[in-house]
């Protein structure tokens, strides 16, 4: 796994819990501890009520493809072998306002469509980083 040559996320003080939960195979999002609005990406202050209190809550891990793009060359050298590849925008079932960008692993580029039900899975790309990715929902 240490030969993973693609760019990696760089967890900071706000996003570190997201990556720690991903490593434990849980999709968790930061939620305001006062007004309970879930927010992404993680940040220190709630945009709805300005609270600086937060908590990390488990998401269902399911959603639907809201949109997508197909990435064609030229791309960063680390991704060249995979192009053309899809990047999807997944709308989480927990809250239609929550949309995550990610990779989809088992849907051909030409079969992508808005509304396809997907579920998260976790790809341990290095010892430190586990990437949440998406696949067609199985259950
Ligand atoms: Zn709030």
Dist. CA 37–CA 32, nearest whole Å = 5
Rounded distance from Cα 50 to ligand 1 centre (Å): 6
Dist. CA 90–CA 133, nearest whole Å = 10
pLDDT tens for the chain, 139 residues long, are 568 889 999 999 999 999 999 999 999 999 999 999 999 999 999 999 999 999 999 999 999 999 999 999 989 999 999 999 999 999 999 998 999 999 999 999 999 999 999 999 999 999 999 999 999 999 7
Rounded distance from Cα 23 to ligand 1 centre (Å): 27
The alpha carbon of residue 26 and the mean position of all alpha carbons in its chain are separated, in whole angstroms, by: 11
Tell me the pLDDT tens digit for each residue of 1-20: 568 889 999 999 999 999 99
For residue 114, what pLDDT is reported?
Answer: 98
Rounded distance from Cα 45 to ligand 1 centre (Å): 8
For residue 72, what pLDDT is reported?
Answer: 95
For residue 66, what pLDDT is reported?
Answer: 98
Rounded distance from Cα 73 to ligand 1 centre (Å): 42
Dist. CA 103–CA 90, nearest whole Å = 10
For residue 2, what pLDDT is reported?
Answer: 62
Segment holding 21, helix H or strand E: helix 16-23
Rounded distance from Cα 54 to ligand 1 centre (Å): 8
Residue 41 and residue 56 in contact, taking contact as beta carbons nearer than 8 Å: no
Rounded distance from Cα 60 to ligand 1 centre (Å): 21
Rounded distance from Cα 62 to ligand 1 centre (Å): 24
Rounded distance from Cα 117 to ligand 1 centre (Å): 29
């Amino acid at each position: 796994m240490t030969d993973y040559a693609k760019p990696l996320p760089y967890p900071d003080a706000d996003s570190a819990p997201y990556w720690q939960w991903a490593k434990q195979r849980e999709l968790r999002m930061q939620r305001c501890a006062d007004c309970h609005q879930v927010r992404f990406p993680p940040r220190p202050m709630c945009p709805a009520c300005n609270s600086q209190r937060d908590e990390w809550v488990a998401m269902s891990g399911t959603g639907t493809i809201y949109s997508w793009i197909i990435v064609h060359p030229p791309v960063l050298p680390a991704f060249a072998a995979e192009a053309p590849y899809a990047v999807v925008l997944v709308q989480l079932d927990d809250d239609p306002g929550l949309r995550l960008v990610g990779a989809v692993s088992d849907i051909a580029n030409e079969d992508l469509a808005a509304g396809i039900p997907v579920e998260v899975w976790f790809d341990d790309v290095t010892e430190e980083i586990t990437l949440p990715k998406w696949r067609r929902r199985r259950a």
